[in-house]
Amino acid sequence: MPKCKICGGSGERLVVVKDPRTGRKKVTSEYCLCKKSSFVSSSFPLLNSTGNSYLPLDKVDENLKFLPNKLDKSPDLIIQSDFPTFAFHVKSVVMENRFKTNAPHIYICRAIDILQKFHVPQEDGTTPHISSLDKFDLFIFTCDTYESNQKLDGVIAQVVNNRKGRKPTWIHMTRPFENCKYEYSDELSHLVSDYKRIKLKPLNKALKKNSKTQSEAANFNGVSK
């Protein structure tokens, strides 16, 4: 595997930041983009297929706005695209926020996972409740269920309703919403009627296995100059 062109394979790099207390600039060490990319891929099963590759921040669709300090102002989104495009865009959003001080809680899963992990009794005997999803500052799920489940549409509608107006929810689909028959319901359609709908352009050569320049890394991380 070729070494990262930023850190030379160390997984860390020096950056210049502004001290929040004094306002002075200082040099500190942080994870390199290559390590952040690998960590995020391994932390979210839905993003595992992205491996060590990532989408530079300036290539992320401008509609994918997440404001961790203004959750009620962050848009709720319905995102339509092929799955790899969705995964890489979302991965960069996570990479941008995951390593900040007081990092926001972001959760990404498939629609069926909501039912299986947050609604039905677990193997250890615990019975979770979908209200536990309220703790996540940004909740993202993809509609890709192909096996019939009569409870799924109602559970999803309840999750969306619980978070509405308080914390952002992003819903991804590869086909028209109405064709996601196991997730779709009239109730859910009404709840998301004010969601912003966006279509992501298929990715081409925007992906990077290793960032080429320090300036690109600075752009991704918002480093103060």
- List the CATH number of the domain containing 161: 3.40.50.300
Q: Could you tell me how many helices (H) and strands (E) the chain has, helices first?
A: 6, 7
Find how far residue 196's CA is from the centre of its chain: 16
Question: The domain containing residue 183 runs over which residues?
Answer: 55-207
Say whether both 197 and 137 belong to one domain. Answer: yes
Say whether both 80 and 156 belong to one domain. Answer: yes
Say whether both 125 and 158 belong to one domain. Answer: yes
Say whether both 200 and 212 belong to one domain. Answer: no
Say whether both 151 and 225 belong to one domain. Answer: no
Q: Which tens digits make up the pLDDT trace of 159-204?
A: 999 999 999 999 999 999 889 989 999 999 999 999 999 999 999 7
Residue ranges of the chain with pLDDT lower than 70? 1, 14, 120-128, 205-225
CA–CA separation, 149 and 73 (whole Å): 33
Say whether both 80 and 98 belong to one domain. Answer: yes
* Overall number of domains in the chain: 2
Say whether both 102 and 191 belong to one domain. Answer: yes
State pTM to two decimals. Answer: 0.84
